[in-house]
């Protein structure tokens, strides 16, 4: 994996050697300039809110905002619309296929490299529908999505969500099983600190899937800005560093005031990453 930082290409191995973090924030394109000034390395855009799916010309406007900021949209979230069924009797593969082809083409046009594959509502197994059958449907769909993403040079990262948001893939451990079952190189796993805390999942779960992990989301208590709460960043970052993770880390949280909170948040994350001691949680 290679990422550009300040015009120079820095490999994941180089970041491991230097102990540096590659930090992004989940914000709309109009905040890219502010994010760059605060010190973030990239922005993660909310795809569903950009309005570019049916308006390809809209990509040019988004690209212009990013260009003016000198900041890349390396990753995208809010990618799967809530109405799009991914499992169950109502699953329409032709509709899903059409959406994925069009949406991933737009992400590629905007220079995206990673797409967060969540779809909590869409992947929720309906009451009365066999859970195992739902999981099989989702694995097959994920494999199909991976093939489309690969054509655009994009990696899909499966996001485990807490049980308040879905009943399928609620832990990193379960997510790893599904990614392995999908068996496609463009389908990887991500970890979200908020969801792990909500599920009381031990950070040791990350140690069982070091080669699958390709993206990370962070927040803090109440899903607010990093550095404003009591989440165990020493334990979380220590585990990530132990398994050799050197990929993207994006703050996905509620910003009460991004202009005021963004700068302190990126500083907090950078210092916590630098201070983290690679620790085995056994």
Of 245, 249, 248, 234, the closest CA to residue 279 belongs to 234
Can you read off the two tokens belonging to residue 128? 């009365």
Of 126, 131, 139, 117, the closest CA to residue 90 belongs to 126
Q: Which residue has the tokens 């605060």?
A: 38
The terminus-to-terminus CA distance of the chain in angstroms comes to 28
- What is the pLDDT confidence band of residue 2, given thresholds at 50, 70 and 90? very low
Rounded-to-integer distance, Cα 73 and Cα 38, Å: 16
- What sign has the CA pseudo-torsion 211, 252, 76, 29? negative
| Res 277: pLDDT | 80
| Res 56: pLDDT | 84
Of 85, 240, 99, the closest CA to residue 168 belongs to 85
33's CB contacts (< 8 A; 6+ apart) are: 65, 68, 69, 71
Contact assessment for residue 265 and residue 35, using Cβ atoms and an 8 Å cutoff? no
Contact assessment for residue 45 and residue 53, using Cβ atoms and an 8 Å cutoff? no
Contact assessment for residue 172 and residue 201, using Cβ atoms and an 8 Å cutoff? yes
Rounded-to-integer distance, Cα 11 and Cα 190, Å: 19
Of 8, 91, 105, the closest CA to residue 55 belongs to 105
Grouping H, G, I as helix, E, B as strand and the rest as coil, residue 165 is coil
Q: For residue range 86-101, what is the model confidence (pLDDT) as tens digits? A: 999 999 999 999 999 9
Rounded-to-integer distance, Cα 99 and Cα 93, Å: 10
Mean pLDDT of the residues in the chain: 93
Q: For residue range 21-59, what is the model confidence (pLDDT) as tens digits? A: 999 999 999 999 999 999 999 999 999 999 999 888 899
According to DSSP, the residues that pair with 218 across neighbouring strands are 251
Indicate the fold that domain 20-275 takes in CATH: TIM Barrel (3.20.20)
Q: For residue range 173-202, what is the model confidence (pLDDT) as tens digits? A: 999 999 999 999 999 999 999 999 999 999
């Amino acid at each position: 994996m290679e990422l550009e930082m300040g015009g120079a290409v820095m490999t994941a191995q180089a970041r491991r050697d230097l102990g540096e973090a590659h930090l992004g924030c989940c914000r709309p394109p109009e905040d890219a300039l502010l994010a760059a000034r605060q010190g973030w390395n990239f922005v993660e855009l909310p795809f569903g809110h950009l309005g570019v799916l049916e308006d390809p010309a809209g990509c040019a406007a988004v690209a212009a905002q990013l260009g003016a900021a000198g900041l890349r949209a390396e990753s995208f979230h809010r990618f799967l619309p809530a109405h799009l069924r991914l499992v169950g009797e109502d699953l329409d593969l032709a509709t899903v296929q059409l959406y994925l082809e069009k949406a991933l083409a737009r992400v590629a046009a905007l220079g995206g490299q990673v797409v967060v594959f969540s779809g909590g509502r869409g992947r929720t197994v309906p009451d009365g529908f066999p859970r195992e059958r739902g999981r099989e449907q989702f694995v097959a769909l994920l494999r199909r999505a991976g093939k489309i993403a690969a054509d655009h040079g994009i990696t899909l990262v499966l996001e485990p969500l807490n049980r308040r948001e879905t009943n399928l893939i609620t832990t990193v451990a379960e997510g790893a099983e599904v990614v392995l079952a999908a068996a496609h190189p463009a389908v990887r796993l991500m970890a979200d600190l908020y969801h792990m805390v909500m599920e009381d999942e031990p950070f040791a779960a990350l140690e069982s899937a070091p080669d699958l992990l390709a993206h990370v989301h962070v927040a803090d208590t109440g899903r607010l800005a990093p550095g404003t709460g009591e989440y165990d960043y020493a334990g979380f970052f220590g585990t990530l560093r132990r398994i050799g993770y050197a990929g993207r880390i994006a703050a996905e949280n509620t910003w009460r005031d991004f202009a005021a909170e963004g700068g302190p948040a990126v500083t907090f994350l950078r210092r916590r990453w630098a201070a983290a001691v690679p620790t085995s949680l056994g």
